[in-house]
Chain A
Amino acid sequence: MKELLANDKNAASRAEACCSSSQVTMGGSAPQPLSIPMAQTQEDDTPCCGPKPGPPSSPFEKPGYRMWHFVSGFAETPVGAIPRIATTLKATDFAGTFRARLGICRDRYRVAPGLYSAGDPGAESPVLVTANYKLSFDSLRRELNSIDAWILVLDTRGVNVWCAAGKKTFSTEELIRQVNGVGLNRLVSHRELILPQLGAPGISAQAVKKGCGFKVIWGPIRASDLKTFLRNGRKAEGKMRQLTFSIAERILLIPVELSLIVKPSMIILLAVFFLSGIGPHIFSFSAAWFRGLNGAAAYILGVLAGAVVAPILLPWLPRRQFYIKGIWTGLVVGFIGVLSLGNDIGRLEFLALVLVSTAVSSYAAMNFTGATPFTSPSGVEKEMRQGIPIQIIAVAVATIAWVAAPFVN
């Protein structure tokens, strides 16, 4: 449990509340095989119940630790035994990726920071630096078949390289700490580190050189370009240096966006049901329920329009401001959706519901700016100063219309 406790206490307790098993890995530490002689198994002549027992424990297992499935062995080096990792992903990795993409236990989906090896690296082999978010780690190791390399994993608190560089956990200080901590200068004869280009906002190459004597070489953005990069004399050019944001990349981000909206939505939906019950009879529970369902539907349509439809249609929606893109999708989805709710909706209610869809969609689409790789904080702030007042007015008018409707009818 040593490594888990080393993390901040809140994260650890959150993790235990969230994930049932606390994964503790044999990562950068150097486990020595146990020298205790193995107990003789008596598989053949034991008159026991049940199926035959499994194989004995691996000599690398240590009390209090659990071995990661991707560690295929350990390489003996001048700085201790370094875990050798498998370069193919297993079903459990894909399942983990799937859960992380849905936003389930995403902040605990991490590997131990420190040194790993791929293939059979030596003193001349390249050192690849990455983050300890398991998705980042997996996307690197799956590209390393037939490559001999050292992998230095920084403690980015389970955050990917790009976001960690923005939060300054993929940082100059952390890189120097890891290089010195694992004793990299005793392991390799060269003095070069290959970093993913998207780590650059957090790392100052000249400060790293000053701090630990290693030169930073900026590698490609995507791990899938690593082989070409290494073959081309460590030069990343053209497409390797440019971001993409394809429809597939955008769709992958949608579930996490939605998972972040769920919590505040519960409170908002409660308010919608409460407001729906207000009427000439002061408060009606049947109105709260039946009108509330319509209100909730309009809200959910707005969320879907802004957090699902807008990201998918992003390049084709008019105007560059995300809040405007969200208005288009919210208007169309809201209008069609509310029409299909039925005929017993009055004009005032119709107006309120479409306004709600549009405002919610506009806000959700504006929030998607954070998931894109091409928006600047100055630009987002500028559009928020325009968008938020419009959204607030729309919600205020919708609320008034919605509460007034039972009195008018």
Chain B
Amino acid sequence: MTLQALLSHWARNKMQLAMLLAGLTLATALWSGVQALNAQARGAYATAAALVSTDGAARLESPSGQLPQALFVELRRAGVLVSPVAEGRFIMGDTRVTLLGIEPLTAPPGTAAALADGDLQGFLSGGGYAHPETVAQIGASDMALTPSQAVPVGTVLVDIGTAQTALGMADQISHLMLTGPAPDAMPEGLRMAQADAGAELDGLTDSFHLNLTAFGALAFAVGLFIVHSAVGLAFEQRRGLFRTLRSLGVPLRSLTLALALELALMALIAGLAGLGLGYVMAAALLPDVAATLRGLYGAPVPGSLQFSPVWALAGLAMAFAGAGLAGGQALWRLWHMPVLAPAQPRAWAIASGRAMRWQVVGALALGALAFVLGVFGSGLFAGFALLAAALLAAALLTPAALALCLRMAARLARAPVVQWFWADSRQNLPRLSLALMALMLALAANIGVGTMVASFRATFIGWLDQRLVAEMTVTPRDAAQARELEAFLTSRVDAVLPLRRVDATLAGQPGAVYAMRDHATFRDNWPLIQAAADSWDRLAGEQGALINEQLARRAGLWPGDRVALPGAGDVAILGVYPDYGNPLAQAIVTEDWFDRLYPDTPTRQLAIRTDDPDATRAALLDEFGLTAQAITDQAQAKALSLAIFERTFLITGALNVLTLSVAALALFATLVTLSGLRLVQLAPLWAMGLTVRQLAGLELARALVLAGLTMVLALPVGLMLAQVLLAVINVQAFGWRLPLQIFPADWARLAFWAGLAMLAASAWPAWRLWRGGGEPLLRVFAYER
């Protein structure tokens, strides 16, 4: 009966109920959607790790890149349990894949599991295994492919012999997987490296997932503002009912339990709806997230979402935790409420006035914490902690700052209606403060992330224009074709610049050493962030190496320092170049030196400088029968890079829009809930001669003014956020630092959308007021008796 009495409130306040459920649903959806994306990606990394290693296994590799196959036989005969792997990029059908050649009888258990249900005979006869999505991408192919969920996306698992033939690696292997104990003495020319590709990907992609989680948490928090606001208002509205029920003999314990049950019921309904919505959202965003992870980190993530019961339970738990967090205060207040507490709704303004003072104290404490983290903190988590503290401090300061602005405006006002407008806005601020804090957070996040992305885009486009100077690039089928291509092109084009690289560990980080031919293309166009004197001449003279910004920042190595290169020992760092979009460490040495250090390294690509790319392309197609995918012109390369860039931030943009939408919903929920209370405040003005139309217009204007002021407050916060993202988070996460650039046109656009969102949020209550004529206002006087 008690629960029934409590629930009757919602039957009469359906819109309030809808807003409460919508807030919790959206919060759960955004959080669990982001978690679904993370879980899917991490599952894919685990698949990748399981395919190529046993737990904690290592691999034996040569610093120069390849090993003779005979070494495998030699080691096995010596009793060392190893399994050979031949690996390389290969164009198959309509796409480029990683061809992973293994020896099935000695392969690690994870690889064997991928073959467990398959046709081993077909595998040994030239067949392959690939993820269903990869099979679909490849389309028609000479190779018989068996779909398998155990193979990462973008990889084709084949017998080692098949891979060696396809990759032109006769009697050569890429590395050896260690499937037993490590040898007592390392064979000459070999080194041991960790083979846990999943862990490596986890490390590289941590920042991306942390970024997503941070956005999910922000959206969840914004959603909880709605729930807290709706539950708090419902509590105030039901004070009379609580008093009546207590007076009728309902024990406090039963009443509190009933209120908790009501909250749990709503958490269950909203949680289930949020899970459904989160799943749909994740499924819609996953293809872009997968493409981003593939493009940025080479992480094999499938583009289709799989349902996980653990994820669903975790999402429901978050819904309950969120409802508990948002409604806990109401339960606590009920537990401590005297039987004869006043039935009148409390003056929120008075209670919130005290709360505002505490908020300011909390904001100052958080601001101090952010300052300390900014000065003394290091690492990605310190960066995110700094962001969280600064954003929360700004949110907590928002009501006080708005109150100050409104007080100043009221002092300047002369006309009575304008004076009332400012005074009334200030008086209602506590009721709107939660929603306005949510709006401030959403706007600051939009400004911050938008500025970061726009700064990045501007720098990235400039960098691409400088870096991608070769008119076209050609990907040879194998090393032999590379040699033929270079010989063919040398007399026909201005320059042929081969790209060769070996994987290497640089200053303890995974990366690669690249060969660079001494050519004006690089000297004239490659930007260097920092350079030693005569860096290009000294590079050509084999006096050192260039390193990328990622390596420089992560390892703290700059011109004047030295870095160890495999086979070369410590070499001088001659310059640091920006290398956006690449998560790995890089070092560049001159081509001749590279060839002496790492002989027989195949050329992976040829960059071509020519005045007539069309004729060169035609000649290559005629002479070598290359596929269209093997030739990329400059425009295509730029378009591809930009597409990867845009895709990378698509998810960020989507979450930005969703967060702003949730904030707008929070405002709508609050304004709708408050519309009944507003009538009491507006009725006297109507009685004194203001028209209903004027009052409705003033309500809209108030919403717009508050949105405008919030936007103004969000601007410095957003710029601070952008600065932290660019100078701290990006450096930690990606290894590059970018200059902050200002884009006022983007702010104007955001202000327009914020105003529109605010108008939309306030339009319904204002329209109801206007449409009702004086009737709802007259009821205020009619209910007096």
A and B: bona fide binding partners: no
B contact residues vs A (CB 8 Å cutoff):
none
